[in-house]
Structure 1
Amino acid sequence: MTGDAVEVLRLGDRTVAEYAWRPDLPSSLAPRPYLHPVRTLAGTTVTELMPASHRHHLGVSVAVAEVDGANFWGGRTFLPGHGPAWLDNQGSQVHMRWVRRRPGQLMHTLRWNSIDGSVLFYERRTLSWRPAGPDAWALDFTFSLINVAERELPIRSPAAHGRAGAGYGGFFWRAPSGQCRVTAPEDGDAVHGGRARWLSVAGAGWTLVFLGADEATRGDRWFVRTRDYVGIGSSLAWEEPLLLAPGAGLKRRIVTVIADGDVSPGRAAAYADELAA
C-alpha cells in the first residue's frame, strides 16, 4: 500500500518475499507488520492480503484476537452470548527500532499499543531465510513478547469465550484461496485443534510445510481452516486464556518451508528434522 515501509527478502537474484514493517493501514485492521507477497522460488505467490471477505487477514503476521480486551486481530471482536461485534478496540503493533538488517536476516523491536496508546507488550521479532533445496526455501519466524503493563494480561481466542473451534491467535498465514490438501504425521492428533511436529498445506503448484521449531511452539495447537478461505495458524491460547504476569514473557518460533510442487510426507518429516530439531 502507499506509504508502506518495506524490506525485500532475496535469495540470490530472486525476490521471495516483502516485509511491510511500518504499514499504512486503517485502525480497523489492527495495523501490524506483515509479509506479502511471499513467493516460491518459481515465483508463485502463496499469501493473500486484505481479501474481500476478511480484510484484516494480512499475508503472514502475528495476530491475536484479544489481549485484555484489545483486539490485535482486526475486524470484529467475539463477545460471549452475542457473537462478533464491531468495537472501538483495535490495537496496533508499532516498529520501534532495527536491531539487525542484513542479507538473510531481519530483527527489530515493536510495541503493542492498545487503541488509547497504552503499551501492553514489547516484542522482539526475527525473520531469517535460507534455501531448503533446489525448489524450496525456509522462512524462520521468531517472536518474543514481554508484558510491560502493570497488570496481568490474558491472551484469548474466541474459543476461550465459547466459540467452538475458533482457537486462532498467534502466528497466522493467509494462503491463496482454492482447493488444497492438508497433511500431518500419522501419529498426530486431528489437524485442526491438534498438535503435530509438522503440517503441510498443498495448493495449485505449491506446498507450505509448517514446523514448530521449539518446545513451546510444538506444544501449541494448530488452527487450520480450508472452508471459505485457507488460513493456518499456531495458536497461543486455544480454549483457555494464556495469562502473562507483569514482566513475564513468551517466545514462539515457526519455520515454514515454501516449496514449488508437492512435498511428500517423508520429505516434510525430513524438513522437521533438519530445520526444527
Structure 2
Amino acid sequence: MRIDTTTPGTLTVLAGDVTVASYVHAPTEVQLESPRPYALLATTSGAAVTAYRPDDHVWHKGLSLALPVVGKHNFWGGPTYVHGEGYVQLPNNGAQTHRGFELAEVDGDGVARIVEILDWTAEDGSPVIVERRTLTARSIDDGTWALTWHSALRNLTDGVLGFGSPTSKGRENAGYCGIFWRGPVTFQGGEILSPAGLAGDEARGEPGPWLAFVAPDRSAGVLVLDGAEAPNPWFARSEEYAGLNPAPFFYTETPLVPGETLVLSAAVVVGDAEVASLADTVGTALVAELRATRNTIEETEITR
C-alpha cells in the first residue's frame, strides 16, 4: 500500500498504481448534510464499491461514521425523525471537522496507517465530541484488500449524550447508526449474506458478527465485520439501496456521560463475489486487531 497526500483535502491510498481509497478529510458539503470525512472505496482493479451523494439520500457518502441521534444533534445528515411527526428538518445538523493527522504512514509490513483527530460540533458551532480515528489499509491478495476503522469519541458537553437511531426514537426497523457503508446504485438488489447464508433485507435488526454484500452482476463483494466484543444488530438494505452497518444503537440508546469515551469499530474487506469466505480467516484477524486497538485507545487521553 502507498499513501498520497498531494491532493488538497484528500488522502489517497493506492494498491500498486490503483487508487483503492480516497479519504476526503476536508468535505465541502452544506451543513444540512452534516458534513464529515468519508472514504470512497474501490476494488484493486479500480471499480467503485461506494456511492457519493446518491439521488435518494445525498447525505450518504461512501464509508463514513454517521450518527443520526447524538443527544439533540444529527450527525447523519438531512431531517431528523420525530416520533408522531415523521422526518422534520431541524436546526441540528452537526459537523465533523478534521483537526489534523497524528500519523499517516506505511509500516514495514505494507500496512497504511492513519490516525486523525476530529472535532464534532453542533450546528451553532459549539463543541460536542472530540474523536481520535484510526484507519488502516492493507492488501490481502492481488484481488482483495481490507480497511479497518476505529473511532474513540469523548463527550465534551456538560450533559449526558444519548446515542441512538430512528428506531430508538420510535420508527420501526430503521436503526441506522454507526460506521455506514453505502454501495453504488449498480449494487441495488444485490445479495446480503450472513454466517447462516443468504439473508437479504431480513438481516436488518438481527445481531451477528458480519454481513457481506455481493453486487447483482457478481463483479465485486464487500464484507463488513463488527469490531464490538458482542454482536450488535445490523442495519442492512438491498432492495431500496445497497447499505450495511453494524448498528449498536439500533433499538436502544447508549448514554455517554461528560468526559467519558465511546468506541466504535468495524472492518471492511473489498474483493470478489466470494468475499464472505474470508470472514473466518482474514475477518477474524482484523477484528482481533480492532479489539486490541480498542483497549489501547480507551486508556489514552484525547485532548480537547
TM range (shorter): over 0.9
Q: Distance in 2 between matches of 1:274 and 1:137?
A: 13
Unaligned 5+ runs, structure 2 = 1-6, 107-111, 289-304
Separation of aligned partners in 2, 1:12 and 1:80: 50
Kept after mapping to 2: 8 A contact 1:145/1:250? yes
- Which of 90, 93, 118 is the aligned partner of 1:90? 93
Alignment match, 1:207: 221
Q: Classify the secondary structure of the residue corresponding to 1:159.
A: coil
Q: Which of the residues 26, 40, 61 maps onto 1:22? A: 26
Tell me how many residue pairs correspond in the alignment. 271
For residue 222 of structure 1, the aligned residue among 207, 216, 234 is: 234
Alpha-carbon contact 2:68-2:166 (below 8 Å) kept: yes
Q: Distance in 1 between matches of 2:276 and 2:244?
A: 18
Judging changes above 3 Å, is the alpha-carbon distance between structure 1 residues 188 and 228 closer, same or farther for their aligned structure 2 residues? closer
Q: Is the 8 A contact 2:26 2:97 kept in 1?
A: yes
Q: Does structure 1 retain, via aligned residues, the 8 Å contact 2:189–2:241?
A: no
Query: What corresponds to 1:46 in structure 2?
Result: 49
Mapped to 2, the partners of 1:13 and 1:78 lie a distance apart of 43
How far apart, CA to CA, are the structure 2 residues paired with 1:264 and 1:87? 40
Equivalent AA in structure 2 for residue 184 of structure 1 = S
Shift of 1:67: 1.2
The one-letter code sitting in structure 1 at the alignment partner of 2:262 is L
Q: What is the letter of the counterpart of residue 51 of structure 2?
A: E
Give the one of 168, 171, 174 matched to 2:179.
Answer: 171
Of 182, 193, 197 in structure 2, the residue corresponding to residue 183 of structure 1 is 193
- State the identity %: 31
Q: Distance in 1 between matches of 2:275 and 2:28?
A: 39
Map of 2:37 onto structure 1: 33
Equivalent residue letter for 2:224: F
Say which is worse superposed, 261-270 or 69-78, in terms of deviation. Answer: 261-270
- SS of match in other structure, 1:62: strand
What is the TM-score when the length of structure 1 is the normalising length? Answer: 0.93
Counterpart of 1:97, as a letter, is G
Contact 1:4 1:24 in 2 (8 A): no
Residue of structure 1 aligned with 2:280, choices 230, 244, 269 = 269
Query: What is the alpha-carbon distance in structure 2 between the residues aligned to residue 114 and residue 197 of structure 1?
Result: 32
* Distance of 1:266 and 1:9 partners within structure 2: 25
- Correspondences of 1:50-69 after superposition (within 5 Å): 50-69=53-72
User: Do the aligned partners of residues 53 and 256 (structure 1) sit closer, same or farther apart at CA in structure 2, a change above 3 Å counting?
Assistant: same
Amino acid aligned to 2:210: W
**Which structure 2 residues correspond to residues 134-145 of structure 1 after superposition, within 5 A?**
134-145=142-153
Letter in 2 for 1:150: D
1:61/1:264 Cα in 2 relative to 1: closer, same or farther (>3 Å)? closer
89, 109, 114: which is aligned to 2:117? 109
- Residue 255, structure 1, aligned to residue 258, structure 2: no
2:247 counterpart of 1:244: no
Q: Which amino acid aligns with 1:212?
A: D
> 1:243: Cα distance to partner?
0.5
What SS does structure 2 have at the residue aligned with 1:160? coil
In structure 2, C-alpha distance between the alignment counterparts of 1:30 and 1:264, rounded to whole Å: 32
Contact between 2:209 and 2:231, CA under 8 Å: does it hold in 1?
A: no
Deviation at 1:142, TM superposition (A): 0.8
Q: Return the TM-score normalized by structure 2.
A: 0.85
AA paired with 1:67?
A: V
